Amino acid sequence: MPETVSTRVRGLDLAIAAAVATVAALIPYHRALGFSFALDDYTFLFRAAGIDPDPFTLRRVLATRLYYELGYELFGVSSTLAWHLVSFLLHVGNALWVYLLARHFRIARDAAWLACALFAGGPLAFTVMYWIAGTQELSSTFFLLAATWVALQPGRRPGWSLPLFAAALLCKESVVAAPLLLPLLGGRRSLRLAAAQLGLALAFFIAAELHLRAFETNAASPYATDYGLGLLRNLGTAFVWLASPWRRYPDRIAEADPALLPWAAGMLIAGSLLLAFTRRRFARPALLASAWFVALLLPTLPLKRHFFAYYLYLPQVGFLILFAALALAGAHRLAGRPQRGTAEARLGIALFLAMLCLLFAHRNRRTHETLMLGRSLAHHDAMVRYGSVSGLVRAQIRDANLRPEVRRVAIVILGGGEGGLTPGTRKPVPGAVRRRTVPLRNAMYDGKFFALHFPRLQGNVVDALTAEDEGGKTAFFLAYDLATLEPLPDASAAYAILALSAFIRDDYNDAGRNAQRALALRPDEATARLVAAGVLARQGDVRDAERILSGLDKQGLGAQMGRFMQKVRDLIAAHESGPASP
């Protein structure tokens, strides 16, 4: 973009860009520094710790295999702070590359700072900042931007961009089409280098067996591809996500939404009209930004499902630089000032950035990443949900001060079926049990969670107890809400909770068995007596059920048990009005 500005980057300017990027990222994402491991993190950690087999594959070998093995040795798994600091530094480094590339294309210094800050604090960084596995996106972006900057420097050795591009490929394959952009960005002198990078990308594509994944025909596969209309739908969806930062952050869509296509077309027309009323010098940068956006999304556009918003983390760069240049030019034109840095303009930019960061934070205040809400357990995307669960479980087990003889942890879930009771309410909430139990069960990874974080313990979510659990070496916890654990005193209490859970599901046989076992261990177990009364009422033994209830009323079970007490009374009333159904 030709402007009468110098492209020389001073150390002070770069330091200011680093400070701007750091502050802009910290405002919406400071809580990410303490977020737990989640999903793919455990997949890679189990392999690094030797819990799962780790067959070699070239795909993402730097960002998954080598990084997690190194991190496991250096950082451990007792805290995620060091892991997140690496991610944060990579993100700030990527924002600095945005600044440097903007300056290379003769963007004014203030506009380059603005682009740097928009990248650092924008909502598309959400997943990569919270999810440690987002280092794949962060590292591939870092190496690709570095390779691009090196390739475009006149009088330097552009060949150094080849190992940088290779590193980007080994972090994530989504950059495979990036060499197509070099001739557009650097002109004829970049043709040979672009050809070399394309050859490298093709060799990697085949060696990593990506040609097999690129044509996944199984519709049930999460990464099934569609090279028809789905390409256009995904592109339109991505464009809407990029151009509408006021929307609450979308993690992904099961399939691209055709309803977003009119919005995408409208935004494209509006952008074209905006360019038509600006100076011609913005036309070519707009085309370059569009080419960058499409080329770096190209490998993900055929995905029928699992089209994630964080795929836009790298493709957005060109548009952010263009937007910053347009915003600064528009501000100077409205103010009637020449296009040069002034204290007033910089103050305006700072206020504008602060407002944008607060907007991102406010619009996403129910997710987890903002300063607006503390430890939010809102059901956002899978990454937040499972990360919240695993982090809370780990902290609660660690802080429980288990007895030295404990060798096993049994987590009992209250509820079942299609609905459940939300704490503090008396009404069943459809789907509440599904939302509560699925993340907790899956976060345990069939006991591997304990093998990683608590090697001396065996542990998992349980639906039944054994005689071994009655011997004193098992610690019991009741799980409610999303992942809050409440210690249970002994095996009798655990049996009673299992009995109550079966009772809620109308599984009276299982409820009766667990209640009887709880009462055999402790005859005064109130919850087990309540379930036993319900089972008796179900069987038609109303007098004994009422006798048990009368004793329980005197003990006082508390408000949380009110619904279950009422269910027993309803069973009694139903029997008194007619025979019980089989």
- The pLDDT tens digits of the residues spanning 152-195 come to 987 667 788 999 999 999 999 999 999 999 999 988 888 999 99
Work out the pLDDT band at 483, boundaries 50, 70, 90: confident
Predicted pLDDT of residue 499: 92
Residues 270/328, Cβ–Cβ less than 8 Å: no
294 DSSP β-pair partners: none
Q: How confident is the model at residue 421 (pLDDT cuts 50, 70, 90)?
A: very low
Q: What is the mean pLDDT of residues 463-486?
A: 86
Contact 443, 389 (CB under 8 A): yes
- Better-predicted residue by pLDDT, 451 or 234: 451
Question: Is pLDDT of 131 > 50?
Answer: yes
The whole-number pLDDT of residue 242 equals: 83
Question: How far is 120 from 94, CA to CA, in rounded Å?
Answer: 8
**What value does the mean pLDDT take over residues 540-559?**
70
DSSP calls for 135-171? HHHHHHHHHHHHHHHHHH-TTS-GGGHHHHHHHHHHH
Contact criterion met (CB below 8 Å) for 519 and 528? yes
d(CA 90, CA 133): 13
Which value, to the nearest 10 degrees, does the dihedral of the CA atoms of residues 292, 298, 304, 309 take? -30
| Cα atoms in the 13 Å half-sphere on the side-chain side of 182 | 29
Q: How far apart are CA 235 and CA 148, in angstroms?
A: 24
* pLDDT tens readout for residues 267-309: 777 777 766 666 566 678 888 898 999 999 999 999 887 788 8
CA distance 444 to 431: 21
Q: What is the pLDDT of residues 59-109, one digit of tens each?
A: 999 999 999 999 999 999 999 999 999 999 999 999 999 999 999 988 888
Least-confidence region, from 85-94, 353-362, 417-426, 451-460: 417-426
Q: Is the pLDDT of residue 53 over 90?
A: yes
